[in-house]
Amino acid sequence: MTVTAAVDFARVNGGRFVDELKALLQIPSVSTAPEHAGDVRLAAEFVAAELRRIGMENVRLIETATAGHPGGHPLVYADWLHAAGKPTVLCYGHYDVQPAEPLDEWKSPPFEPTERDGNLYARGAVDDKGQMWMHVKALESLMAADGTLPVNVRVIVEGEEEVGGEGIAAFVREHGDALKADVALVSDTEMFAPELPTLCVGLRGMIYTEIEARGARTDLHSGMYGGAAPNPFVALAQVIAKLKDEDGRILIPGFYDAVQKPAEDELKAWKALPFDEEHYRETEVGSVALTGEPGFSVLERTWARPTLDVHGMPGGFIGTGAKTVIPAKALAKVSMRLVPDMSPAETFAKYKAYVESITPEGIQLEVRLIHSGDAIVVSTDNGYIRAATEALREVFGRETVFVRGGGSIPIVGDFVRELGIPTVMMGFGLPDDNLHAPNEKFHLANFHRGIESIVRFLGRV
Ligand code: BES
Ligand code: MN
Ligand code: MN
């Protein structure tokens, strides 16, 4: 009864839910940008205020800033634990967002949420404010239906997911008891295709690094010194060129040693997914060709193989026109996606040793680790996954597909390892939602179906 009434409540109030989400999306909670620290906190307070209003208890911000982690953003915590004898669900999401740049590529400004063609466009629309809001609105709908929840619920929403999630990891390590639950529910992944209900059962891990190259003591005139002075950008280009061959194979000695292959069953299931490589190349990637390791399908390459990418090379002259300078230093931001059972620490050590061994003449390199997290695969053989597929069947009228995600959500590994609980990754993004890119959007039909799916899931566990 509660569930039907809650679904009705969500339908009647759907328009208001979207309006509230728009207000949250107006707050530029960019976690990596120190100048937005105040906005990040505002977003945390916005979420906390709403959790309080809908009847959640013990709502509070948990500070994560410490001497070892300066600038840490707060966690938002809430609970409701009055369903005696029922399991406890830990609802996780993140309220921080990626930077919105390049701004001139957005059709409407990133922090002025705009509806077009059934989609809501804004930075964070789907990753993850919109999906986190589905959790809050599902809880509100259940509460409104008869003043209680069908299960015990704890909510933890972090503000540092997009920068590695160090604060929440420390909290889980030190105060795991405060998050004691039977299962975690995470809505921060995608559906494999429109209309296809999807559970994500694996994520890649990562190490994010910086290589700093130094040559001359100070910037130099490239005419006066070119030919004698080392150039840190050229040096970085040479180093980067030796990290990966033309086939996409990573050249760091021992890099692939621990890589675990997916089981035959899983690979077989991926072959049955509706995937058209040419369509993917044309519409999602938009490049003239796809790259990567021969002998592996695109799904294997993005879900189950480790990769290496360069994100940017700050430094030197990047203004309009020309400046003839040999920069004294240059930086490269390089990350690697990891798969089970690669160790982030060991992988970083191998990478650092290799980069140092190929340092060009006259250059000093410093290799730094910015953040890291383990890859995970979750078990699908439990009642929570079954409750999720049943809830999704009721909403979408179709059977759920199980996929992995190529991205990372660092804390999910800790839920499994530190809290010892299974995780249900029920996400409602679409492949063309432009996560981390200009014109990020959330398909509003999926926002509403997500709320209903979560209501039904909580009603079943
Ligand atoms: N929600 C994404 C991760 C994701 C996206 C998983 C799509 C599966 C499918 C998350 O917000 C994210 O972007 N994570 C970062 C983590 C990193 C900064 C530690 C990522 O993957 O780059
Ligand atoms: Mn996310
Ligand atoms: Mn993200």
Neighbours of ion ligand 3 (CB under 5 A): 127
Using the atom order of ligand 1, give the atom closest to the CA of residue 162.
18
Whether 96 is catalytic: yes
SS3 of residue 1 by DSSP:
coil
Domain 205-259+306-373 has what CATH class?
Answer: alpha beta
Pocket of ligand 1 (CB under 6 A): 127-128, 161-162, 164, 188-190, 200, 203, 206, 371, 373, 405, 407-410, 435
Whether 50 is catalytic: no
**pLDDT at site 223:** 98
Cis link prior to 219 (omega < 30° from 0)? Answer: no
Using the atom order of ligand 1, give the atom closest to the CA of residue 371.
19
Q: Which bound ligand lies closest to the C-alpha atom of 303?
A: 1
Q: What's the CA-to-centroid distance between 440 and ligand 1, angstroms?
A: 14
Q: Mean pLDDT score of the chain, rounded to an integer? A: 97
Mutate which of 97, 128, 161 for ligand 1? The one with the most ligand atoms within 8 Å of its CB, which is 161
Under 8 Å between Cβ of 395 and 460: no
Please choose, from the candidates 273, 321, 318, the residue with its C-alpha nearest in 3D space to the C-alpha of residue 297: 273
**pLDDT at site 67:** 86
Radius of gyration of the chain (CA): 23
**Residues with pLDDT less than 50, the chain:** none
- Options 96, 158, 266, 374, the catalytic residue: 96
- Options 161, 188, 300, 414, the catalytic residue: 161
Is residue 394 packed enough to be buried (19+ CB in 10 Å), middle (13-18) or exposed (0-12)? middle
Mutate which of 336, 409, 432 for ligand 1? The one with the most ligand atoms within 8 Å of its CB, which is 409
Please choose, from the candidates 4, 270, 43, the residue with its C-alpha nearest in 3D space to the C-alpha of residue 141: 4
Q: What's the CA-to-centroid distance between 328 and ligand 3, angstroms?
A: 33
Under 8 Å between Cβ of 414 and 181: no
Q: What's the CA-to-centroid distance between 98 and ligand 3, angstroms?
A: 6
Q: Which bound ligand lies closest to the C-alpha atom of 411?
A: 1
Domain ranges of the chain: 2-203+376-460, 205-259+306-373
**pLDDT at site 146:** 85
Using the atom order of ligand 1, give the atom closest to the CA of residue 208.
19
Please state whether 26 falls in left (phi above 0), alpha (psi between -120 and 50) or beta. Answer: alpha
Q: What's the CA-to-centroid distance between 97 and ligand 2, angstroms?
A: 8
Using the atom order of ligand 1, give the atom closest to the CA of residue 164.
19
Max CA pair span of the chain: 81
Cα 44 to chain centroid distance, Å, stands at 18
Under 8 Å between Cβ of 17 and 11: no
First to last CA, the chain: 15
What are the backbone dihedrals phi and psi of residue 264, each rounded to the nearest 5 degrees, phi first?
Answer: -55, -40
Mutate which of 95, 126, 188, 442 for ligand 1? The one with the most ligand atoms within 8 Å of its CB, which is 188
Structure tokens at 66: 């410490």
Please choose, from the candidates 237, 165, 178, the residue with its C-alpha nearest in 3D space to the C-alpha of residue 208: 165
| Assigned fold of 2-203+376-460 | Aminopeptidase (3.40.630)
**pLDDT at site 68:** 87
The kind and range of the H/E element at 149 are none
Nearest CA to ligand 1 atom 1: 188
The DSSP-derived string for 128-164 is THHHHHHHHHHHHHHHHHHSS-SSEEEEEEES-GGGT
Q: Which bound ligand lies closest to the C-alpha atom of 128?
A: 2
* Amino acid, res. 367: V
**pLDDT at site 300:** 98
C-alpha dihedral, 316 to 318 to 323 to 327, nearest 10°: 0
Q: What's the CA-to-centroid distance between 359 and ligand 2, angstroms?
A: 35
